[in-house]
Each structure stands twice: as C-alpha cells, then as structure tokens.
Amino acid sequence: MDKDVFLIEDDIMSSNLISRYFKKHGYVVTSFTDISSAMLKLNNVQPRCIILDLDLDCETPLDNISKIRLLSSTYLIVFSSFRRFDIETLAYSKGCDQYISKDRGLIPLIHAVKQISNGRENHNIIATNKIWHYSSGLVFDYLNRTIEFEGNLASLTRIEARTLSVLTSSAYRTLSRDVLTKSTTGRDFDGISRSVDLTVSKIRNKIRALGLKDEIIITVQSLGYQLKSGSELIEKTELP
C-alpha cells in the first residue's frame, strides 16, 4: 500500500508519461481518466497517495477535490497547469494537501510522493488529546481539529490543525516557512510554494469568522510567523 498511487488525469499522453515515470521508481499506479471511475475504486481501496489533475474536463474542477474528500482522507496532491494564487487558495480550501503546478515538472511531484511513501508527512505532528486555551478566549482542540470562541465553532483541515499546533507549541518563537513546512508535512520548503502563507491566511480568516478580532498569528517580516506575544496559553489534556 505504501507504493500505491491513484492518478486521475484525463489526458492520455500525460497520464502515460506520469505513470511510466512513477513505475520506474517502483510505484504501483492505477490511472483514471475521469473522477467517477476513481470514486468507485475509492469505495473499496485506499491508496497511499492520490494525484489529481485539476484540469479535468468539467465546469467545476475544484469540486472534484471535495468529492474525493467525501470518501478518502488519503494524502491528495493537485497537479495542475494553473499557476495562480486564487486557484491554489481554493484548492487548499477544498481539502487538498499539496498543490504543484505542472510547469515545475515531475521531479517535485515524485519527491513529494516519495516522502509520503516513507511516512515522513506526519512524523513531526502526532495526534494528541491536547486542548489549548488562549487568553483571548479561543479554544483549539487538535484531536477534533476545531477552534471555538464564545460558542462559535469552526473546523480546521488537517494541515491547518498541524500548523496551528506547531505555532502554539512554539509560542512566541518565530518559525520560518521552512520550519513550518518541515514540521507539518515532513517536506523541505522549496522556496516557491505559497502553501504555508495560504494555510496561515485560512486559519486567520476562520478565527475572525468566529468573532475574535485580535490576531493570534502574526507575520514577522522576512522571517516567518509566530504566535502573538502576550497570548497566554493553558494546555489541557482530555481524559479518554
């Protein structure tokens, strides 16, 4: 299963090229030319990784991410010809774990999948039953991936919960994008991806939507991000 990859790509030539490349590296690739066929297979089989072409011939390709998430929590890489900030942002909001533009070639793609296959995507963050209480009144439940403020509740994606957990555990220390990428995904920051910035932006927006106006996460110019100084924390562990 560690070498099983689902490839959803409607262009036959591209699908064959990617499949051959991965098979040369020892992976077992199951290819699909449409989302419906992949969904049927996901009812019975959960691969190690799913690679989704965002350019599938449909009116709302981003909805395919949501469809996959209904059936699977498998690590999902969007491999797209769209190199646009707004499209990448929407892809992450729908639930993809990593966004790679096709103009970067297959090397970043195989590198990401290799790290997932080696189990490095979650070495640094281990699910716990810790609940963090911030002095602002915000409550962060890592295990259930939720944040709460004055009775209002919001759900976090897996990568959002990991990012907030790392920042909270390293309170008041500035963490670079490289550290955040490594700590939350096990991958090295490539200097190009906006995934950390997008994730932090989404966490901030969700906190604001709860009614909390104070910024919990601040940007440290040219360095990275940190939990706002002065945010007192209480760590509680819920009994099973």
Q: Give, for all 240 residues of the chain, the pLDDT tens digit.
A: 568 999 999 899 999 999 999 999 999 999 999 999 999 999 888 898 999 997 765 567 788 898 898 888 888 999 988 777 778 878 887 888 888 888 888 988 998 888 776 654 444 444 455 788 888 899 999 888 899 999 999 998 888 888 998 888 887 789 998 888 877 776 666 666 778 888 899 899 999 999 998 888 999 988 899 988 666 666 665 544
113 with 28, same domain?
yes
CA distance 230 to 215: 11
Domain total of the chain: 2
Q: Is residue 125 part of a domain?
A: no
Question: What pTM value is reported for the model?
Answer: 0.63
CA distance 226 to 174: 5
160 with 102, same domain?
no
233 with 174, same domain?
yes
Range of the domain at 61: 4-118
Give the residue among 70, 19, 25, 27 at the shortest CA–CA distance from 48. Answer: 27
Give the residue among 2, 231, 29, 240 at the shortest CA–CA distance from 118. Answer: 2
- The alpha carbon torsion through 156, 162, 105, 36 (nearest 10 deg) reads -40
Q: Is residue 179 part of a domain?
A: yes
How deeply is 238 buried, as exposed, middle or buried, from its count of CB atoms within 10 A (0-12, 13-18, 19+)? exposed
